[in-house]
Chains A and B, each alone.
Chain A
Amino acid sequence: MIQVLLFGQLAELAGASNLELDGVADTASLQLELQRRMPALATTTYRIAVNKIIVTENTPLSGGATVALLPPFSGG
């Protein structure tokens, strides 16, 4: 089981700030699964963190991992 935390407008897109997913082996397949649920994600800027560390390439996900999706904010 993978825990997914969504920040900013991503939580609005998903209708929840917290999702639980099964059967995603890595961050790339997680992104595909999330895009299937939220097509707008494909054109949205965000970064992925696995267990609080921002990752730059496809990263394997072990059970119990927490993945967080962080979008940029411009407001000041």
Chain B
Amino acid sequence: MGTMERYHRQIILKELGAEGQQKLLSAKVLVIGAGGLGCPVLQYLTAAGVGTLGIVDDDVVALSNLHRQVLYTMEDIGKPKAAQAALRLRAMNDDVQVIVHAERLTTVNAWNLIAPYDIVVDTSDNFPTRYLVNDACVLLQKPLVYGAVSRFEGQVAVFNVPTKNTAAVNYRDLFPTPPQDGEVANCAEAGVLGVLPAIIGSLQAVQAIKLIAGIGRPLINRVQTYNLLQDSWYDFEVQPAPLPNPLQPTSRAAFEATGYAVQCGISGFEEIDVAQFNQLLQQADTLVIDVRELDELPPVTEFAHRQVPLATVPDLFGNINHQSIVVFCQGGKRSQQAAKQLAHAFPLKKIYSLRGGILSWKEAAQTKQHERTQA
């Protein structure tokens, strides 16, 4: 095979060999997140010749990402990470089939996204996603390579891989209950030295390669921590929890009904102004809902929306496929109540409430109209 020249330096490692390389080329790995940890994971798995790489990320590149997310350039700012990462990775190695999943991982899409892959690498940046990925991987029996960073420290582990002597452990055996929102600062709040995720992400790539090729001793049932300031490493051995975790779903249906943001103490919606509302009207995958009574005036004919009076909002639960929901009412009070209910029912969707209601929207539209006729 001509392409094997590319992998010569690792094929001559007798532990890996042509057989190990073939395993890499046949492997399918899903990487959740294309940020600080995701970049090195994706780069090294692409370079190593992992045959199929999926990227799940719904974010766009920002200037403040570039100190650690080294797949991206200044020209990528504002562009979707998953697609830009795929461009670079395909240029690196055309043996690798790179699949872009430019969406946020939710309980709705997680099952079908994860199922086709052999191994999942969690490089996400928030607790709801981390618990969601873990629980899905437990139910689907997928090996999970976990990595997380904060400031100058990182953690790496391999979950969901049973050994001869021990049952498989998962993230909930390490941290059974999610910390509450605001308790643990994320990178945006706490900061992170740019090179740290390169180290932790590279270790995640190491774990994936070892698991696929069946070489060495991956971090199964062990959490390895690294402190960059002290240059110190420390390992923790994790054992299966003695009792089942009541927060952990035991079936696909229970998983899909789990509110991960709520478990993590997040039950938020965002209040938006008229300008933001108008932007959302242009956005795909957004459902706009009028929660006023059906006969309330003024009627709204300017944009597409659904009429769902406040009392009937619970009828929507479980029936919305859009990723974002924008609610409005007459003056902005009832829509807050509806948004709160929706945020609870759809913890991973983005929920917005129009401040000032349709009255302020109509007023702004009239002012604009007036300005236009004046000009």
Contact = CB atoms under 8 A, between A and B. Distances in A.
Contact of B37 (A8, A17, A49, A76): A76
Interface of A: 5, 7-9, 17, 43-45, 47, 49, 52-54, 56-57, 68, 70-76
B234 A74 contact: no
Nearest to A45: B179
Given A44-B183, A56-B242, A76-B122, 8 more contacts: A52-B237, A54-B238, A56-B239, A72-B174, A72-B178, A73-B153, A74-B186, A76-B149
25 contacts: A7-B153, A7-B225, A8-B153, A9-B184, A9-B190, A17-B230, A43-B183, A45-B179, A45-B183, A54-B236, A56-B239, A57-B242, A68-B234, A68-B236, A70-B236, A71-B184, A72-B184, A74-B125, A74-B186, A75-B197, A76-B37, A76-B125, A76-B148, A76-B149, A76-B197
A39 to B, nearest CB: 15
A10 B79 CA distance: 37
Interface residues of B, number: 45
A72 B179 contact: yes
B248 interface: no
A75 B175 contact: no
B127 interface: yes
Q: Is the interface of A mostly helix, strand, loop or mixed?
A: loop
B239 A74 contact: no
B49 interface: no
B36 interface: yes
B234 A76 contact: no
A73 B148 contact: yes
Given A9-B185, A45-B183, A76-B123, A56 B149 contact: no
